[in-house]
Amino acid sequence: MKAAVIPAVNSAWELRDVPDPRPSAGEVLIRIHACGVCSNDVLATVGALPFPSIEPAVTGHEAVGEIVEVGSGVRSRQVGDRVGTTWVRSGCGRCDYCRLGLPVGGQTAMNCPDAVQTGFTAPGGHAQYMTVNADETVLLPEQLSYVAAATVMCAGYTAWSALRAGRPDPGARVAVLGIGALGHLALQYAAACGYETVAITRSPDKHELAKRLNADFVVADGEQLRGIGGADVILATAPSHAAAAASLAGLRVNGRLVLVGLDGREPFSIPPTMQYPFFAQGQSIVGATHGGPALLREALDLVAAGKVTPMVEVFPASRVAEAVDKVGRGEVRFRAVITYA
């Protein structure tokens, strides 16, 4: 089969012939139709996240497709099923974290020493085929296209998990910092739930776009957010702790700042107490990541129902390196999805 191989850290992805995977007992063979390029795939390519520990290095955790073969003992899936699989597939089942019995999600990957992570510790979805345990797939809603479904497997799942972690009250105002892949979906998920929405973007060219993505207001930073009355929940999807901390200026009393973007360089610092003293605001700062299969299901269903529409740039497999490059430059509006079938 063809697969998009990352030859080494900091090198361009190459479409190469690699051995066909075969399903073992309990596994299914998926013919990949589409796989999104997550910004974390780019971070792994440049060595800012762990480089895939698999040979050949094939990443991609927004994989969706059709089951074409099932291994022995599989009962929950059949040939022809439309499925997807996400970043974190399982924990070791034995460590202190796994013994808590929590749903498998991003937390598992960051706490279990032996979690199976698609595209990092197990072959990823930027390929024509992949194998995965049947129970580590999700059935896709019938009316959902493969391209749209791919964006939900990480970007949508994370955006929805962040909104749920923010626990907005009915009638709340929800602001989204950073209008990229996660942000453009977070904005729409918040609007779909009836919250008043604000886009916080440093890019003037995204103002009109953000309104079309259901932003009721668009501002450039936390001070401007404060100027329009602030927000009860801020979903910080920008890869910058500094930008997230600056947004606190626009967080209402008793509000929640949800950190979902990754910043591997700078610490998160609460601004000095002189202006809007954090100690007196009753605010919370929480992290969020893929929150478990039930949240993935909800995220998929809202897209399938037409309440959230991912904005994508679709590339054929032959142009995967160009897509990765464009994602790295932050120029994709808003998720690059590669088609493999």
Give the list of residues 6+ apart from residue 208 with CB closer than 8 angstroms, or none.
none
Q: Which position among 22, 99, 167, 202 is part of the footprint of ligand NAP (CB under 6 A)?
A: 202
Q: Angle at CA 164, nearest 5°, toward 110 and 144?
A: 90
Q: Is 88 in the site for ligand NAP (CB under 6 A)?
A: no
Residue 157 CB coordination number (10 Å): 32
CB of 119 to Zn ion, least distance (A): 9
Judged by CB under 6 A, the stretch of 2-10, 15-23, 33-41, 140-148 that binds ligand NAP is 33-41
261 binds, among ligand NAP, Zn ion, none (CB under 5 to 8 A by kind): ligand NAP
The CA–CA distances, whole Å, from 56 to 4, 32, 150, 196, 238 equal: 9, 17, 22, 46, 31
Per-residue mark of binding to Zn ion, 258-287 (x: CB under 5 A): ------------------------------
Q: Which position among 30, 40, 150, 285 is part of the footprint of Zn ion (CB under 5 A)?
A: 40
Match 């698609």 to its residue by tokens.
118
Q: Which position among 59, 85, 158, 188 is part of the footprint of ligand NAP (CB under 6 A)?
A: 158
156 close to 187: Cβ distance less than 8 angstroms: no
Q: Which position among 181, 219, 251, 296 is part of the footprint of ligand NAP (CB under 6 A)?
A: 181
CB of 63 to Zn ion, least distance (A): 11
Q: Which position among 4, 116, 163, 182 is part of the footprint of ligand NAP (CB under 6 A)?
A: 182
Query: DSSP for 77-135?
Result: --TT-EEEE-SEEE--SSSTTGGG-PPSSHHHHHH-TT-EEBTTTB--SSBSEEEEEGG
Residues in touch with ligand NAP (CB under 6 A): 38-40, 106, 154-155, 158, 178-183, 201-203, 206, 237-240, 243, 260-262, 289-290, 330, 334
